[in-house]
Amino acid sequence: MEEFVSEIKVVFLGASNVGKTSIVTKYLRGCFLQNQDSTIGATYNKHTLVHDEKEYPLQIWDTAGQERFQSLVPMYYRGAHVALIVYDITNTDSYKRAKIWVKEIEEKGMTNVIIIFIGNKRDLEGTRTVEIDKSEKYCLKKKITYLETSSKTGYNIKELFQIVGEKLSQAT
Protein backbone atom coordinates (compact mmCIF):
# COMPACT_ATOMS: atom_id res chain seq x y z
CA MET A 1 0.00 0.00 0.00
CA GLU A 2 1.21 3.46 -0.75
CA GLU A 3 2.46 5.47 2.15
CA PHE A 4 0.11 8.20 3.31
CA VAL A 5 1.40 11.49 2.03
CA SER A 6 1.17 14.11 4.73
CA GLU A 7 3.40 16.71 3.20
CA ILE A 8 3.43 17.88 -0.38
CA LYS A 9 6.85 17.96 -1.95
CA VAL A 10 7.47 21.03 -4.08
CA VAL A 11 10.82 21.19 -5.86
CA PHE A 12 12.54 24.07 -7.59
CA LEU A 13 14.42 23.11 -10.74
CA GLY A 14 16.37 25.22 -13.20
CA ALA A 15 19.79 26.50 -14.09
CA SER A 16 22.01 28.26 -11.64
CA ASN A 17 21.40 31.99 -11.13
CA VAL A 18 17.84 32.12 -12.53
CA GLY A 19 16.43 33.18 -9.16
CA LYS A 20 15.08 30.00 -7.56
CA THR A 21 16.35 30.79 -4.08
CA SER A 22 15.19 34.41 -4.41
CA ILE A 23 11.65 33.28 -5.27
CA VAL A 24 11.49 31.05 -2.18
CA THR A 25 12.92 33.77 0.02
CA LYS A 26 10.58 36.42 -1.34
CA TYR A 27 7.57 34.19 -0.86
CA LEU A 28 8.43 33.00 2.64
CA ARG A 29 9.91 36.27 3.90
CA GLY A 30 10.69 35.94 7.54
CA CYS A 31 8.36 33.06 8.26
CA PHE A 32 10.46 30.17 7.25
CA LEU A 33 12.01 27.30 9.00
CA GLN A 34 14.82 25.81 7.02
CA ASN A 35 15.79 22.17 7.19
CA GLN A 36 18.71 20.48 5.59
CA ASP A 37 18.69 17.00 4.17
CA SER A 38 22.34 16.04 4.35
CA THR A 39 21.84 12.98 2.18
CA ILE A 40 21.20 15.14 -0.85
CA GLY A 41 22.67 18.42 0.28
CA ALA A 42 19.51 20.38 -0.34
CA THR A 43 17.27 22.37 1.95
CA TYR A 44 13.55 22.53 2.35
CA ASN A 45 11.20 24.97 4.00
CA LYS A 46 7.94 23.95 5.57
CA HIS A 47 5.01 26.14 4.75
CA THR A 48 1.27 25.71 5.05
CA LEU A 49 -0.46 26.90 1.91
CA VAL A 50 -4.11 27.85 2.32
CA HIS A 51 -6.34 27.62 -0.70
CA ASP A 52 -10.15 27.74 -0.59
CA GLU A 53 -10.01 27.35 3.19
CA LYS A 54 -8.10 24.11 2.82
CA GLU A 55 -4.60 23.69 4.19
CA TYR A 56 -1.81 22.13 2.20
CA PRO A 57 1.35 21.39 4.15
CA LEU A 58 4.22 22.02 1.77
CA GLN A 59 7.86 21.08 1.81
CA ILE A 60 9.47 23.58 -0.51
CA TRP A 61 12.77 22.19 -1.74
CA ASP A 62 15.62 24.31 -2.97
CA THR A 63 19.08 23.23 -3.99
CA ALA A 64 22.26 24.28 -2.31
CA GLY A 65 23.68 25.24 -5.70
CA GLN A 66 24.47 21.75 -7.02
CA GLU A 67 22.70 22.60 -10.29
CA ARG A 68 25.76 24.68 -11.12
CA PHE A 69 27.51 21.39 -11.82
CA GLN A 70 24.49 19.93 -13.65
CA SER A 71 24.42 17.39 -10.88
CA LEU A 72 21.09 17.24 -9.13
CA VAL A 73 20.64 13.81 -7.68
CA PRO A 74 17.39 12.09 -8.65
CA MET A 75 16.57 11.82 -4.95
CA TYR A 76 16.17 15.58 -4.91
CA TYR A 77 13.10 15.50 -7.12
CA ARG A 78 11.95 11.91 -6.67
CA GLY A 79 8.47 11.77 -5.22
CA ALA A 80 7.81 15.43 -5.97
CA HIS A 81 4.18 16.46 -6.33
CA VAL A 82 4.94 19.86 -7.78
CA ALA A 83 7.89 20.91 -9.96
CA LEU A 84 8.55 24.62 -10.31
CA ILE A 85 10.86 24.88 -13.29
CA VAL A 86 12.50 28.28 -13.51
CA TYR A 87 14.45 30.13 -16.17
CA ASP A 88 15.62 33.71 -16.56
CA ILE A 89 13.88 35.63 -19.39
CA THR A 90 17.18 37.36 -20.20
CA ASN A 91 19.10 34.09 -20.54
CA THR A 92 18.30 31.83 -23.48
CA ASP A 93 20.49 29.00 -22.20
CA SER A 94 18.49 28.89 -18.99
CA TYR A 95 15.31 28.57 -21.09
CA LYS A 96 16.80 25.61 -22.93
CA ARG A 97 17.83 24.07 -19.63
CA ALA A 98 14.30 24.51 -18.27
CA LYS A 99 12.89 22.64 -21.26
CA ILE A 100 15.35 19.82 -20.63
CA TRP A 101 13.98 19.60 -17.09
CA VAL A 102 10.44 19.24 -18.39
CA LYS A 103 11.63 16.45 -20.65
CA GLU A 104 13.46 14.76 -17.82
CA ILE A 105 10.39 14.79 -15.58
CA GLU A 106 8.34 13.33 -18.43
CA GLU A 107 10.92 10.68 -19.18
CA LYS A 108 11.06 9.62 -15.54
CA GLY A 109 7.38 8.78 -15.93
CA MET A 110 6.40 11.38 -13.33
CA THR A 111 3.14 11.97 -15.15
CA ASN A 112 1.16 13.15 -12.14
CA VAL A 113 3.58 15.89 -11.24
CA ILE A 114 2.15 19.37 -11.43
CA ILE A 115 4.61 21.39 -13.50
CA ILE A 116 4.70 25.16 -13.50
CA PHE A 117 7.07 26.76 -15.99
CA ILE A 118 8.39 30.07 -14.71
CA GLY A 119 10.10 32.90 -16.58
CA ASN A 120 11.73 34.89 -13.79
CA LYS A 121 13.37 38.36 -13.77
CA ARG A 122 10.39 39.94 -15.46
CA ASP A 123 11.63 43.31 -14.15
CA LEU A 124 14.41 42.99 -16.73
CA GLU A 125 11.85 43.10 -19.56
CA GLY A 126 14.06 45.56 -21.46
CA THR A 127 16.82 43.00 -21.90
CA ARG A 128 14.59 39.98 -22.48
CA THR A 129 15.99 37.42 -24.91
CA VAL A 130 13.24 34.80 -24.62
CA GLU A 131 10.02 36.01 -26.20
CA ILE A 132 6.92 35.48 -24.11
CA ASP A 133 5.06 34.04 -27.13
CA LYS A 134 7.66 31.36 -27.51
CA SER A 135 7.31 30.20 -23.91
CA GLU A 136 3.55 30.39 -24.00
CA LYS A 137 3.37 28.29 -27.16
CA TYR A 138 5.74 25.74 -25.72
CA CYS A 139 3.69 25.44 -22.52
CA LEU A 140 0.44 25.22 -24.41
CA LYS A 141 1.88 22.34 -26.39
CA LYS A 142 3.10 20.65 -23.22
CA LYS A 143 -0.16 21.42 -21.38
CA ILE A 144 1.69 23.06 -18.52
CA THR A 145 1.10 26.38 -16.82
CA TYR A 146 3.32 29.32 -17.72
CA LEU A 147 3.93 32.28 -15.46
CA GLU A 148 6.37 35.18 -15.43
CA THR A 149 7.63 36.43 -12.09
CA SER A 150 10.08 38.81 -10.53
CA SER A 151 11.50 37.95 -7.17
CA LYS A 152 13.01 41.41 -7.15
CA THR A 153 9.71 43.31 -7.32
CA GLY A 154 7.51 40.49 -6.04
CA TYR A 155 5.56 40.39 -9.29
CA ASN A 156 3.42 37.19 -9.46
CA ILE A 157 5.17 35.55 -6.52
CA LYS A 158 2.03 35.15 -4.39
CA GLU A 159 0.10 34.28 -7.54
CA LEU A 160 2.56 31.49 -8.25
CA PHE A 161 1.66 29.78 -5.00
CA GLN A 162 -2.03 30.48 -5.51
CA ILE A 163 -1.74 28.55 -8.74
CA VAL A 164 -0.01 25.73 -6.87
CA GLY A 165 -2.96 25.69 -4.44
CA GLU A 166 -5.46 25.67 -7.28
CA LYS A 167 -3.70 22.79 -9.03
CA LEU A 168 -3.46 20.82 -5.79
CA SER A 169 -7.15 21.32 -5.08
CA GLN A 170 -7.98 20.06 -8.57
CA ALA A 171 -5.71 17.06 -8.09
CA THR A 172 -7.18 15.92 -4.78
Q: Which residues bind Mg ion (CB under 5 A)?
A: 20-21
The one of Mg ion, ligand GDP, none whose footprint includes residue 120, by CB under 5 to 8 A per kind, is ligand GDP
C-beta closer to ligand GDP: residue 24 or 168: 24
The one of ligand GDP, Mg ion, none whose footprint includes residue 18, by CB under 5 to 8 A per kind, is ligand GDP
C-beta closer to ligand GDP: residue 99 or 152: 152
Residues in 92-131 at the binding interface with ligand GDP, rule: CB under 6 A: 120-121, 123-124
Contacts of 65 (CB under 8 A, 6+ apart): 16
Write each residue from 12 to 31 as x if it is in contact with ligand GDP (CB under 6 A), else as -, in one continuous string. ----xxxxxxx---------
Distance CA 104, CA 24 (A): 23
Q: Long-range contacts: 54-59, Cβ < 8 Å, 24+? A: 54/169, 56/8, 56/165, 56/168, 57/6, 57/7, 57/8, 58/7, 58/8, 58/10, 58/164, 59/7, 59/8, 59/9, 59/10
Task: Determine the longest span between alpha carbons in the chain, in angstroms.
Answer: 52
Q: Minimum CB separation from ligand GDP for residue 128, in Å?
A: 12
Radius of gyration (C-alpha) of the chain in whole angstroms: 15
Q: Minimum CB separation from ligand GDP for residue 137, in Å?
A: 23
Binding-site ranges for ligand GDP (CB under 6 A): 16-22, 120-121, 123-124, 150-152
